Amino acid sequence: MIRPHRTLGLALLAVLAACGPADRKASSLSPANRPQPGATGATANFAPNDPPGEWRRQARDYANTRFSPLEQIGVGNVARLKMAWSFSDGIPYGHEAAPLVVGDTMFVVTPYPNVAYALDLSKPGAPIKWTYQPHPDPIAVGKACCDAVNRGPTYADGKLVFTLLDGEAVALDANTGKPAWRVRLGQPASGMTITMSPLVVGNAVLVGNSGGEMGVRGQLTALDLSTGKELWRGYSTGPDADVKIGADYHAPYPWLAGKDLGASSWPGDAWQRGGGTVWGWISYDPDLNLIYEGTSNPSPRVPAQRPGDNLWSSAVFARDPKTGSVHWGFQFTPHDQWDYDGVNENILIDGPIGGQTRKLLVHLDRNGFGYTLDRSTGRIVVAKPFAPLNWAKGIDPATGRPIVDPDKEAKVEEKVSNICPTHIGSKDWQPAAFSPRTGLIYADIFNICMDLTDHKVGYIPGTPYDGMDLTTHAGGKTNKWGEFIAWNPLTGERAWSIPETFMTMSGVLATAGDLVFYGTTDGWFRAVDARNGKVLWSQKLSSGITSQPMTYLGPDGRQYVAVVAGVGGVASQVMGSKNGFPPRGGTLYVFSIDGVSPGSGPGMLTTQGSKAPGAVYNAPD
Amino acid sequence: MRAMTLRLALTLLATVALGACSRSHGDSVTGPAATQLPADATLHSIPMGAPPGEPVSIAGRIANPFAGNAQAVAEGKQLFGAMNCVYCHGAQGSGLIGPALNGSGWRYGGTPAELFNSIHDGRPQGMPAWGARLPPDQIWKLVAYLQSLGDASNQPSTTGPQAADQDPADSAHQGLIAAQRAR
């Protein structure tokens, strides 16, 4: 029964290969990546220029564009997208990761208990090649503020690298699933967890931490890719030596110059419990040899207990990946009063500003401002609201500091009504994408405001260092909690937008087929014309989408689009009991044109088992 | 309304919170001195996993010496804020990082003794052990507060300002104090 189908598959492979786009080895710098008429002129460096059909890290490239050069699926045929196959992991926690594809293998890492699967894409139904069960400490489940999530693995040099909720990082042999090393970076009993996806630069695995709601001190650690040995660690708060501010440092603005600002901008030793955790994305510019790392809200969340700017919380660092040395640091929200973490992705693009091509960093912050910084200096090029906000009246161009509206400052035992955006910001961690064909940034954002009352809070290790007492509501009179926007990073203006009734909290995928893909928390997966915002295809999935879509070429030469449904995280905390909000449960969906794949079609397809022995590696508890 | 109630509770507390946090085992014990507390050994002999509500185990036979004591319930409520329970379990125990504690079901049993043990010894998925920080009488007061929540949730809420204040459209966000946070 299987043989005829395999023959068909091989025939198709031959046809597609002959047509060109199926060549998995072709350079990613194809004409498909070039700006099209009407584009803003912004482009990007797609290093490390992985094979175009692969997806080796969550953001695909170092610049964090989430742009794929694949174009088999485009505006002309995307309406024929249908499910090809699916994979369920049976886990109820929020799913926030993208699967990876390297060669003929897909890698999936689940939320807690952080099980890793390798799926053999060369076989019908993509059978499991190996499984790794790390058995992280269950204590972490009750310490993670916002659900026991994980933002996915990364692939480098034959290893699959990812983090475990209980504060560990692990590297597996990608071929066999056998652990190469496993390293603990902090104690979950103290409130530290890890949810972020590591980035590998050279031999350095860069791993941050979570726990900014529990008084955990932010840190970024570099581990040796081959051994897991610690190379360096840079903290987000404390004296310059701990932060790794030294001779390389150049302040983008005068208020960011001075000795030990990470300690002196706090009362007493409060910086030791000051948050600034590193739970978002890291990007890398190989030309400047700098990594870019955002930091979380300060701890406690109640600002009355920590007068000062609270550096380097709600900020971004540019560091040398070899040493951790800080080249510049910029704080988006000094003395954050609203939980506006600075962890959102920093997308590295190059674009014309006043007739000159500049090296830029685009960052849509939780605080509602869309920043375009000069990534060599950390100085602001553009800073304009990408969503309605009222906590600040603008950004002072001389200092880069927000001009705070005193009416919207948080107060102890006094309710402040209708602060926009709410604590999770105008946009949370869910990463935007960039298309060089349009020169636009595409993002899932929120339209949510809050009524806030602060209470003073005591520090008890391993418990929330919190104090924010809030209720949320949709902004304006729209009752639209979400929105998908196209943003011009060179001018700070929207090109177009699609309002959504439910929160939009997925990553975005952009492709050379002029498509952008995003999901909604009520479970719609959509494909949109990147040029004009026209919705070309929608599919309702089994649960809400808070993960990151990706695309790849299968071993059969066909382009697939994959996304995980499995709502959770802050989306469920904020909207979980709203009428129409879907239940939890993680399932990976893989789509192709007409749903054709080795995992679907006429005849009786069966699981063939995998090339590898189907090994299960169980870490000792 | 829930937020209001919480605010009131925490207002009372704000001044004692920081002091209470550093309180160590053996600090002066408040509350009626005459109250006879169940013995430690008895409590620790309670097996895990007996179905809640079935008094087959010894757990069902141990009463909370503070049950229904209004002053103890009020003190328990204060502790629920000062010990940061509220930021894990939500206003009035409605559930957040940790499970709901308002009588809508128990993972480790809902008898007073089982609640005591949950708080005293902690539970594996992130519930801290408070035995080292709080003396037994304070833990029993927390239990008394939790018992009062269970009672309240079983009553029809048709009268009083609480019921009138509820906006059904926004019920999703009631009690989401401090709930949604960054990471």
Q: Which of B14, B22, B133 shows the shortest C-beta gap to A455? A: B14
Chosen for mutation from B118, B138, B181 (greatest number of chain A CBs closer than 10 Å) is B181
Whose structure tokens read 């009553």? B155
Contact B181 A146 (CB under 8 A): yes
Name the closest residue on chain A to residue B19, using Cα atoms. Answer: A458
Contact residues on chain A for B177, CB-CB shorter than 8 A: 468-470
Helix boundaries (H) for A94-162: none
Q: What is the pLDDT of residues A490-529, one digit of tens each?
A: 999 999 999 999 999 999 999 999 999 999 999 999 999 9
What is the residue-averaged pLDDT of chain B?
A: 69
| pLDDT surpassing 80 at residue B160 | no
Q: Yes or no: say if A619 and A134 are a contact pair by the CB < 8 Å rule.
A: yes
**Closest partner residue to A464 among B6, B87, B170, by Cβ?**
B87
Residue A342: closest C-alpha in chain B: B182
pLDDT for res A477: 84
Q: How far is A293 from chain B (nearest CA, A)?
A: 16
Of A562, A359, A541, A574, which Cα lies nearest the Cα of A449? A574
Query: Taking the model in full, what pTM does it have?
Result: 0.89
Range of the domain at B171: 2-19+63-181
CA atoms within 13 A on the CB side of A405: 14
Active site residue A345: no
Residue A252 and residue A430: Cα distance in Å, rounded?
27
| Count of structural domains within chain B | 1
The stretches of A114-157 forming alpha helices (DSSP H) are none
Instruction: Give the Cα-Cα-Cα angle A484, A487, A488 (nearest 5 degrees).
Output: 165
Please name every residue paired with A101 in a beta bridge, in sequence order, or none if there are none: A55, A106
CA-wise closest residue to A589 among A531, A524, A533, A529 = A524
- Output the CA–CA distances (angstroms, integers) from residue B14 to A455, A458, B10, B11, B89, in the order listed: 7, 9, 6, 5, 19
Q: Compute CA distances A249 → A241, A257, A263, whole Å.
A: 12, 9, 17
What is the signed CA dihedral for A110, A111, A112, A117, rounded to 10 degrees?
Answer: 10
Cα–chain-centroid distance for residue A235? 21
How is chain A split among helix, strand and coil, in percent rounded to 5?
Answer: 10, 35, 55
Mutation for B interface: A93, A190, A463, most B CBs within 10 A: A463
Of A176, A189, A172, nearest to A463 by C-alpha is A189
Active-site residue among A61, A309, A339, A428? A339
User: pLDDT digit string (tens) for A99-127?
Assistant: 999 999 999 999 999 999 999 999 989 99
Residues 6+ apart with CB under 8 A from A73: A81, A511, A513, A515, A551, A559, A561, A593
Mean pLDDT calculated for residue range B118-137: 96
For residue A522, which of A578, A570, A581 has the smallest C-alpha distance? A581
Catalytic residue selected from A64, A297, A346, A447: A297
CB A260 within 8 A of CB A239: yes
Per-residue pLDDT reduced to its tens digit, B161-171: 232 233 222 22
User: How far out from the chain centre does Cα A242 lie?
Assistant: 26
**Would you list the DSSP string of B101-153?**
-SSS--SS--SHHHHHHHHHH-BTTTBPP-TTTS-HHHHHHHHHHHHHHHHHH
In tens, the pLDDT along A540-582 reads 999 999 999 999 999 999 999 999 999 999 999 999 989 999 9
Query: Is A457's pLDDT higher than 80?
Result: yes
Instruction: Identify all chain B residues contacting A460, using CB atoms and an 8 Å cutoff.
Output: 21, 83-84, 128, 133
Question: How many angstroms separate the CA of residue B42 from the nearest CA in chain A?
Answer: 27
Gap from A573 CA to chain B (nearest CA, Å): 6
Strands A100-102 and A105-109 come out as antiparallel
Q: Which residues in chain B touch residue A455, judged by CB atoms under 8 angstroms apart?
A: 7, 10, 14, 81
Round to whole Å and give the CA distance between A127 and A610: 6
| Chain A positions in Cβ-Cβ contact with residue B182 (cut-off 8 Å) | 145-146, 212-213, 279, 296-297, 339, 341, 343, 366, 423-424, 428
> How many Å apart are CA A28 and CA A499, to the nearest integer?
33
Let me know if residue B97 belongs to a domain.
yes
Beta bridge partners of A325: none
In contact, B97 and A466? CB cutoff 8 Å: no
Select from A143, A366, A429 the Cβ nearest to the Cβ of B126: A143
Q: What tokens appear for A433 in the block?
A: 């994408």
DSSP secondary structure of A157-194: TTEEEEEETTTEEEEEETTT--EEEEEE-S-GGGT-B-
- The answer as to whether B25 is a domain residue is no
pLDDT tens for residues A160-206?
A: 999 999 999 999 999 999 999 999 999 999 999 999 999 999 999 99
Which two structure tokens, joined as six digits, stand for B97? Answer: 């990082």
Nearest CA distance, B6 vs chain A (angstrom): 9
Q: Annotated catalytic, A213?
A: yes
- Give yes or no for residue A24 having a pLDDT over 80: no
How far apart are alpha carbons A43 and A33 in whole angstroms? Answer: 9
Asked if residue B26 is part of any domain, the answer here is: no
* B145–chain A nearest CA distance, Å: 20
* C-alpha–C-alpha distance, residues B126 and B88, integer Å: 10
Please list, in sequence order, all residues whose beta carbon lies within 8 angstroms of the beta carbon of residue B97, skipping any fewer than 6 positions away. Answer: A142, A143, A144, A145, A464, B87, B88, B89, B126
Q: Using an 8 Å CB-CB cutoff, list residues of chain B that contact chain A.
A: 3, 6-7, 10-11, 14, 17-18, 20-22, 81-84, 87-88, 91, 96-98, 123-128, 133, 170-174, 176-183
Pick left, alpha or beta for residue A569 (phi over 0 → left; psi -120 to 50 → alpha; otherwise beta): left
Sequence ranges of the domains in chain A: 48-593
**Cα A140–Cα A129–Cα A226 angle in degrees, nearest 5:** 60
Rounded to an integer, the average pLDDT of B141-152 is 88
Which value does ipTM take for this structure?
0.90
Determine the distance from the C-alpha atom of residue A489 to the mean position of all C-alpha atoms in its chain, rounded to a whole number: 18
The CATH superfamily assigned to A48-593 is Quinoprotein alcohol dehydrogenase-like superfamily (2.140.10.10)
* Six-digit token string for B144: 């008394």
Residue B6 lies in a domain: yes
Whether the per-residue pLDDT at A61 is higher than 90: the answer is: yes
Query: Is A293 among the residues known to form the active site?
Result: no
- Is the pLDDT score of B114 beyond 60? yes
Q: What are the tens digits of pLDDT across the range A459-489?
A: 999 999 999 999 999 998 889 999 999 999 9
What CATH number has the domain bearing residue B129? 1.10.760.10
Q: How far is CA B45 from CA A57, B62, B113, in A?
A: 51, 12, 11
* Amino acid symbol at B107: R
SS3 per-residue string spanning A65-86: CCEECCCCCCCCCHHHEEEEEE
Among B88, B127, B170, the residue with its CB nearest the CB of A464 is B88
Question: How many interchain CB pairs under 8 A, A with B?
Answer: 152
Distance from the Cα of B34 to chain A's closest Cα (Å) equals 30
User: ∠ CA(A113), CA(A117), CA(A121), 5° rounding?
Assistant: 155
Q: Which residue of B has its CA nearest to A578?
A: B172
- Hey, is A580 helix, strand or coil? coil
Residue B38 falls within a domain, yes or no?
Answer: no
Chain A partners within 8 Å of B84 (Cβ): 457-458, 460, 463-466
Structure-token pair, residue A384: 């304009």
User: Is the Cβ pair A471, B3 closer than 8 Å?
Assistant: yes
Q: Beta strand A550-553 with A100-102: parallel, antiparallel or unpaired?
A: unpaired
Tokens coding B182: 């960054």
Could you report the per-residue pLDDT of A434-443, keeping only the tens digit for each? Answer: 999 999 999 9
Is the per-residue pLDDT at B159 higher than 90? no
